């Protein structure tokens, strides 16, 4: 089975976000980037499927600026066979445009399964997997928490409001991965050394028309300072009064 | 990554490393955050090493990482140095475990062993399925190992070993001990397997330092080993000393990691701790301490990088390593002392890692050649006069 894993570079989750001078993007100077956590589940699942079948290939792809090479290298070190950078000049936030670029490229390569994270934790748009599946004409199962493969067909389990849904699905398919699906492996040091010998393709992304545009970004209003009502058990009445005042009780 | 650790890199020394070196460093850093730091304090309290992590470290590939073949990763000297840095950011005991396994045990087998010895030991040691220890020091011969009393005598196809070794890291948990002893008055290396009759490791208890590390005495009473268990490729003190050069190289990087941990903790604390209505980071004396730490860490990072480049080029000599080992251990220990001061009373508890690192570094500055012995090695190189003996 030839598997494509779509990954994205996102600012580390502990980054203190600053808004850039243009008022609609974030200041990237001093920000450390990492592989989107949900994409790690997707990559791990792809590697496990390949190991289970003892055949096929795992290709990681991203749409983004050249700096994304680091995250692709990381994926190669963990065991992906090939990396593809569909390069853009800017940070990509429009799921529509990214899906169009990915679909255009996926159509040119052998692919039975596309695995993605359920969402990218930077823009949280949560639209790429379904959008991509639509463009490719593939089946689509999102936010999968358990995935098994037997006799060429997948059984996917996903949490829905108050219940667990079990879905059967054939390839070709796009599956988006939820936390809990697996525990992603570490790259081992030999893997890191082997990564530099693996194929790395860079080509310009064929971006379709823009579907949306960020017109303004603003930070949430700073939280009001906390208030210390006293110390020890004696402070309980004051605390209750304060909570009543704010209608928390 | 589960902790908030930010490694100090004031002069962007990062830029001097290759992409792979950075990736290897980051991988080990992440592993230490995720797997090691959550368990270290409990092991430090109990005086135990987290043995369950030994095979995992093998999977990661850190044992003998700079060696080639036999399941080893074949990494650059700088990459293997950075592994030590990240491991020691966790705890000197963790780095010690890996240094002993790789530099002190796998290295001599790799460099001086027979093909059969290599095949038998190295792949399993690289995988963490077999643990080694290195027995050089004796209770009465530390800085002067050449005076050792442990000796071997021939008996047909066998050697019979008698003597004892003290302060041996991994001595009780090891599956194989590299014991240095005299045969006809000449120091030779012997591979003694666990369970060999007359051979025993006994843990040294009640340490203040390197608590999360097995430090033991090895006792050898009429231990009979087959003659194929001697390392044929080296004679004299040069054997163990060449291993120490490898391990000291790792310590030079390692201690930088401990210092970075100290700096990170102290700097973070100074920004949070309010005294006289201000974060203590606002006080000049506190800044002075943090700046001293950052200054020394940065110098040590650059010294280690240069040492790594010299090792890569085959130009590194043992006295170069002495300079870096001496400097890194000293500055790291000073960083922890200053950091402990910044933490005030909180710094004396194990809610914070500062004092654990500080206590550990008292061993690190002592083993593999004390600070003063390295001073004399460098002094001898500079002046041509030997002040050690
Ligand atoms: C936790 C721990 C783990 C260890 N692990 C190992 C191990 O795995 N394998 C192993 O073989 N050893 C190991 N050691 C032993 C270590 O290498 C020795 O402790 C070290 O070499 C110092 O020897 P010593 O303790 O006998 O000190 P001594 O040699 O007695 O030194 C005491 C003091 O005298 C000074 N001194 C000695 N000679 C001179 C001189 N000529 N001129 C000036 N000053 C001098 C020293 O600098 C030091 O300050 C370990 C030690 C510790 C603490
Ligand atoms: C074992 C132990 C026993 C103790 N016993 C007692 C006891 O019996 N009774 C009791 O009352 N207390 C006791 N103490 C508390 C002790 O007196 C305090 O820990 C000490 O006063 C320091 O306060 P702190 O720990 O809050 O550190 P902090 O005041 O938070 O100091 C942290 C760091 O900031 C520096 N700093 C603070 N202010 C400034 C400034 N203005 N300019 C420059 N630098 C500054 C300090 O020098 C230090 O390096 C004990 C402490 C310990 C560790």
Phi, psi of B321 (to 5 degrees): -65, -40
Cβ of A187 within 8 Å of Cβ of B23? The answer is: yes
- Chain B's closest residue to A192, CA to CA, is B20
- Mutating which of B4, B35, B53, B61 best tests the A interface, going by the most A Cβ atoms within 10 A? B61
Report the length, in residues, of chain B. Answer: 389
From residue B282, alpha-carbon distances to B268, B272, B276, B286 in Å are: 13, 11, 10, 8
Cβ of B61 within 8 Å of Cβ of A70? The answer is: no
The pTM assigned to this predicted structure is 0.90
How close A16 comes to chain B (CA, Å)? 13
Ligand nearest to the CA of B372: 1
Question: How far apart, in whole angstroms, are the C-alpha atoms of residue A86 and residue A9?
Answer: 13
Reply yes or no on whether B368 is catalytic. Answer: yes
Convert the pLDDT of each residue in B75-129 to its tens digit: 999 999 999 999 999 999 999 999 999 999 999 999 999 999 999 999 999 999 9
Strand-pair partners of B302: none
- For residue B199, the CA-to-ligand 2 centroid distance in Å is 50
State what percent of residues in chain B have pLDDT above 90.
99
Show Cβ contacts of residue A228 under 8 Å, excluding neighbours closer than 6 positions: none
CA angle at residue A50 from A49 to A55, to 5 degrees?
135
- Chain B's closest residue to A71, CA to CA, is B23
Provide the ipTM. 0.81
Instruction: Indicate the SS3 state at residue A161.
Output: coil
Choose the closest CB to B31 out of A74, A186, A192: A186
State what percent of residues in chain A have pLDDT above 70.
100
Which residues on A lie below 8 Å from B4 (Cβ)?
14
- Mutating which of A35, A192, A226 best tests the B interface, going by the most B Cβ atoms within 10 A? A192
Cβ of B73 within 8 Å of Cβ of A193? The answer is: yes
Cβ of A186 within 8 Å of Cβ of B20? The answer is: no
Token digits of residue A134 = 């639509």
Convert the pLDDT of each residue in B212-270 to its tens digit: 999 999 999 999 999 999 999 999 999 999 999 999 999 999 999 999 999 999 999 99
From B267, B275, B288, mutation site for ligand 2 pocket: most ligand atoms within 8 A of C-beta = B275
Ranges of beta strands (E only) in A161-238 are 163-170, 173-177, 200-204
Instruction: Indicate the SS3 state at residue A155.
Output: strand
Ligand nearest to the CA of B173: 1
CATH of domain A2-223: 3.40.50.620
Choose the closest CB to A193 out of B4, B31, B75: B75
In which band, very low, low, confident or very high, does the pLDDT at A13 lie, cut at 50, 70 and 90? confident
From B135, B167, B389, mutation site for ligand 1 pocket: most ligand atoms within 8 A of C-beta = B167
- For residue B335, the CA-to-ligand 2 centroid distance in Å is 19
Convert the pLDDT of each residue in B304-351 to its tens digit: 999 999 999 999 999 999 999 999 999 999 999 999 999 999 999 999
* Position in ligand 1 atom list of the atom nearest CA B213: 1
In the prediction, which pLDDT does B2 show? 44
Between the two ends of chain B, the Cα-to-Cα distance in Å is 49
Query: Could you count the other beta carbons within 10 Å of the beta carbon of residue B326?
Result: 24
Choose the closest CB to B27 out of A70, A192, A196: A192
- Across the range B289-303, mean pLDDT stands at 98
Cβ of B73 within 8 Å of Cβ of A187? The answer is: no
Q: Decide if pLDDT at A14 tops 90.
A: no
Ligand nearest to the CA of B389: 1
Ranges of beta strands (E only) in chain B are 132-135, 151-155, 158-169, 176-183, 186-193, 199-203, 215-226, 274-275, 278-279
Question: How far apart, in whole angstroms, are the C-alpha atoms of residue A102 and residue A36?
Answer: 17
Tell me which residue has tokens 């870096």. B324
Token digits of residue B17 = 């490393």
């Amino acid at each position: 089975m030839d598997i494509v894993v779509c990954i994205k570079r996102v600012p580390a989750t502990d980054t203190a976000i600053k808004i850039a001078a243009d008022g609609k993007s974030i200041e990237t100077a001093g920000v450390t980037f990492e592989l989107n956590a949900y994409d790690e589940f997707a990559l791990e699942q792809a590697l496990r499927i390949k190991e289970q079948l003892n055949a096929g290939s795992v290709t990681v792809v991203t749409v983004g600026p050249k700096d994304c090479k680091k995250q692709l290298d990381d994926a190669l070190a963990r065991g992906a066979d090939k990396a593809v950078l569909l390069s853009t000049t800017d940070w990509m936030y429009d799921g529509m445009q990214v899906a169009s670029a990915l679909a255009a490229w996926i159509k040119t390569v052998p692919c039975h399964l596309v695995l993605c994270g359920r969402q990218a934790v930077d823009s949280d748009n949560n639209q790429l997997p379904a959008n991509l599946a639509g463009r490719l004409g593939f089946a689509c199962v999102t936010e999968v928490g358990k995935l098994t493969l037997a006799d060429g067909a997948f059984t996917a389990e996903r949490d829905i409001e108050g219940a667990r849904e079990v879905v059967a699905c054939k390839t070709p398919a796009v599956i988006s991965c939820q936390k809990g699906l697996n525990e992603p492996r570490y790259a081992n040091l030999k893997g890191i050394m082997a990564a530099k010998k693996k194929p790395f393709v860079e080509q310009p992304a064929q971006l379709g028309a823009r579907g949306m545009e960020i017109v303004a970004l603003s930070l949430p209003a700073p939280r009001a300072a906390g208030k210390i009502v006293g110390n020890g058990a004696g402070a309980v009445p004051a605390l209750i009064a304060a909570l009543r005042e704010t209608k928390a009780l | 990554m589960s902790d908030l650790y930010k490694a100090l890199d004031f002069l962007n020394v990062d830029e001097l490393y290759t992409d792979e070196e950075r990736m290897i460093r980051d991988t080990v850093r992440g592993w230490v955050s995720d797997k090691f730091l959550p368990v270290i304090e409990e092991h430090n309290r109990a005086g135990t090493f987290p043995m369950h992590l030994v095979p995992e470290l093998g999977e990661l590939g850190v044992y003998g990482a700079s060696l080639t073949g036999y399941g080893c990763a074949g990494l650059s000297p700088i990459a293997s140095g950075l592994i030590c840095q990240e491991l020691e950011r966790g705890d000197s005991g963790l780095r010690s475990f890996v240094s002993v396994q790789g530099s002190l045990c796998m290295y001599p087998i790799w460099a001086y062993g027979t093909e059969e010895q290599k095949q038998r030991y190295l792949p399993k040691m690289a995988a963490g399925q077999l643990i080694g220890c290195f027995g050089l020091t004796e209770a009465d011969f530390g800085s002067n190992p050449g005076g050792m009393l442990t000796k071997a005598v021939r008996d047909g196809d066998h050697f019979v070993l008698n003597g004892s070794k003290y302060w041996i890291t991994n001595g009780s948990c090891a599956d194989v001990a590299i014991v240095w002893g005299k045969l006809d008055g000449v120091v030779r290396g012997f591979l003694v397997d666990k369970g060999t009759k007359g051979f025993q490791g006994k843990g040294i208890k009640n340490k203040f330092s390197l608590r999360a590390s097995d430090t033991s005495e090895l006792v050898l009473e009429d231990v009979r080993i087959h003659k194929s268990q001697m390392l044929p490729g080296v004679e004299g003190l040069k054997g163990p000393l060449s291993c120490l050069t490898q391990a000291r190289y790792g310590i030079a990087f390692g201690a930088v990691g401990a210092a970075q941990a100290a700096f990170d903790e102290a700097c973070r604390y100074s920004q949070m701790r309010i005294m006289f209505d201000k974060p203590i980071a606002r006080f000049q004396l506190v800044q002075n301490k943090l700046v001293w730490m950052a200054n020394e860490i940065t110098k040590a990072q650059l010294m280690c990088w240069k040492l790594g480049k010299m090792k890569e080029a085959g130009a590194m000599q043992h006295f170069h390593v002495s300079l870096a080992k001496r400097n890194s251990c000293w500055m790291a220990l000073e960083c922890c002392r200053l950091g402990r001061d910044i933490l005030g009373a909180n710094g004396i508890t194990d809610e914070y890692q500062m004092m654990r690192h500080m206590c550990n570094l008292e061993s690190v500055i002592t083993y593999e050649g004390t600070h003063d012995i390295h001073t004399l090695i460098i002094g001898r190189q500079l002046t041509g006069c030997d002040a050690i003996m």
